[in-house]
Amino acid sequence: MLKNIEVNSKFWNDRQRVIKDQMIPYQWEVINDLKKIDIAVTNTGGDTSAQDSDKSYVVENFLIAAGKKQGKRGGMVFQDSDAYKWLEAAAYSLECFPDSDLQKKADELVQIIADAQESDGYLNTYFTVNEPDRKYQSLYMSHELYCAGHFIEAAVAYFKATGNKLVLEVAQKLADNIDNHFGPEEGKIHGSDGHEEIELALLRLYELTSQERYLKLAKYLLEIRGQDSEFFLKQQKNDVALGRKSLIQGLEILHKDFNAQYFQADRPVDEQVEAKGHAVRVVYLCSALALGAALSGCDKLKQSAYNYWNNIVGRRMYLTGAIGSTCHGEAFSADYDLPNDSIYGETCASVGLTFFANYMLRLNKDGVYGDVMERALYNTVLGGMNLDGKGYFYVNPLEVRPEYSKKNPGLIHVLTRRAHWFACACCPPNLARMVMSIGHYAYQCSDETNTIFADLYMANKAEFELSGNKVVIEEQTSYPWDADITFKVQEAPEQGFNFALRIPQWAQNYQVELNGTLVSDFKIEQGFLYLASPVGSGDVIKLHLDMPIDVVEANPLISADYGKVAVMRGPMVYCVEQCDNGAQLQCLHLGELKDLSGSFEQDVLEGIYQIKAQGLRRINDFALDSSLYRKATPAHYEAQEITLIPYYAWCNREEGEMRVWLNPKP
């Protein structure tokens, strides 16, 4: 297992330091209402006029629940999770950059949360303060187990980083409370939460504590979903009969969209063959299915994970690793329905897809999962924040025209400047915990085969416990800007260990050296290169991957991209912006692959590999007669140099149009 990792990658360190120095302190002020901010309202449904635009209520809610402050509990029903994700991001930050002031703040938050926990272990400020008689009775939208899951995940991370015993005690009391209320036994609740998250959290708690009851409960909550397709409907009808208000202001309890498919509960998980409903819910469920299968060996969970993976990645994922094509319910729609301008592509959904891919790698050592993991990370996840860490995207489009976003109600969810915060603020802290924990995605280990797998390339120094022995590896690389990667084995047992390197699908050519000698004695198996012999102390392995500029096309069944092309280099998707190329980006034609060239530009967008293309722009001669339509005539073009930048870096300069998919050479 990976015991410790120090990430030395300039690319990732730059982003981690922005999060440490800007995002985490900024978010601390936000959740404590110490900073007056404008809170953007996302198109998540409900009465947006009822959502505050200048206050988060997050920590205040815990103080009220603990009886330490008087007042009205505010914010969304799931507001507690903002504190938990901040705590998890702080935990990973402390792993990377020890900081006594940050740890003091985090310890204070842990104590506040502990004070708000009820004596039986129940923890949720909304139901403690507002509706104590409604606990676990409105699971379709209560987010009780969702919030509990986020706290448990934060507790596991914080305990590992700091050894804080209180946070683990609170987490176990909470998990035990859930175990006392949910399960197959008579008198317990035979169902789960409307928003998956607790399942993954319980599995992580099991890994930490080795308490079998947490594995058993997680597996139960996965397998019970969809066994009774009317479970949530029954709770909804009961709430209506009792005259209860909706937990989301402005939405009816019996809203037609809150059906079993929306909650992935129309059939049992092993019968699900496509991703349906709320995209974040789906990938949180998938992450738990994959990790649950890896930990338990359950074939049913394993097959369910594969079914979801094949549908999402094969038919419902954007080029950038974004998922969730419609703002209506933040949901998946249909196979190949991937519009670029009205996409939802929630940042949280790509964070969840990264989790899913990582746990699929753990379940089955196939490099395709690493390919998708880095696709989501380097594009949509990183695109969810400004380079300065002070602005965030909830929605991640592949095509933007600011005027349309401002004037077309169907596109109002597509922001053209990143917001400072959101009323539904799940994405910023989710992104923060993801980036701060990036080192945990670099490797996987197998004691069974005495193998270390290099999954995600970045400069680092890592310590492992492999088959009971200590291994220390230093990795040197400038990835993702180039793909020359050197591994130096600093410590290993006498018998050595096996080493496997992921070969991305975009790398058509590669070579590997061992101690300065080109190696041909290796095997490629499911996207990994396995060295023929064990490596040991003092060995140096060099991997060179060709990282060309590629022009890619989409499956013709994706009508939004039919006849279009996009540019990639390595894991990164590229886009064009108005500030580089002028307005009316739809008139640009890329040119041929030979017309593209690139170079690393240190002074552009804090350092990027920029691509230049000798392309064309269609001359708009419609302007001569101001007509909308006419008989088709030959088009005329003028030469234009086209500048492309990595997708994650867009919207960091002046506001303007952006586009990923372009016209090919006419």
Q: Has 330 been annotated as catalytic?
A: yes
Provide the token pair at 519.
Answer: 């190696």
How many CB atoms are located within 10 Å of the residue 387 CB?
19
Cis bond before residue 480 (omega within 30° of 0): yes
Give burial (CB, 10 Å; 0-12/13-18/19+) of 133: exposed
How far, in Å, are 213, 216, 284, 499 from residue 298 at the CA level? 16, 12, 18, 27
H/E segment holding residue 282: helix 279-296
Burial 403-434 (b: 16+ CB within 10 A, else e): ebbeeeeebebbbbebbbbbbbbbbbbbbbbb
DSSP string, 107-143: HHHHHHHHHHS-TTS---HHHHHT-GGGTTS-TTT--
Q: Are 335 and 558 in contact (CB under 8 A)?
A: no
Q: Are 321 and 345 in contact (CB under 8 A)?
A: no
Query: 144-162 vs 165-181: helix axis angle to the nearest 10?
Result: 150
Ramachandran quadrant class, 160 (left: phi over 0; alpha: psi -120 to 50; beta: rest)? alpha
Amino acid present at 315: R
How many CB atoms are located within 10 Å of the residue 310 CB?
13
550's CB contacts (< 8 A; 6+ apart) are 506, 567, 568, 569, 593
Cα Rg of the chain (Å, integer): 25
Amino acid present at 571: P
Helices (H), 74-197: 80-96, 100-116, 125-129, 144-162, 165-181
Give me the count of residues in the chain. 666
Q: What are the backbone angles phi and psi of residue 198, rounded to the nearest 5°?
A: -60, -35
Selected catalytic residue, list 88, 223, 330, 657: 330
Tokens 């990792």 belong to residue: 5
Tokens 């129940």 belong to residue: 122
Tokens 């041929």 belong to residue: 592
In 3D space, the residue among 574, 533, 583 whose CA is nearest the CA of residue 662 turns out to be 574
Q: Has 274 been annotated as catalytic?
A: no
Burial 261-278 (b: 16+ CB within 10 A, else e): bbbbbbbbbbebebbbbb
Tokens 């596991």 belong to residue: 156
Helices (H), 550-612: 578-581
What gap in Å lies between CA 6 and CA 96, rounded to an integer? 7
How far, in Å, are 8, 309, 340 from residue 354 at the CA level? 21, 12, 21
Q: What are the backbone angles phi and psi of residue 638, rounded to the nearest 5°?
A: -125, 150
Selected catalytic residue, list 426, 445, 587, 651: 426
H/E segment holding residue 615: strand 608-618
Give catalytic residue positions. Answer: 330, 426
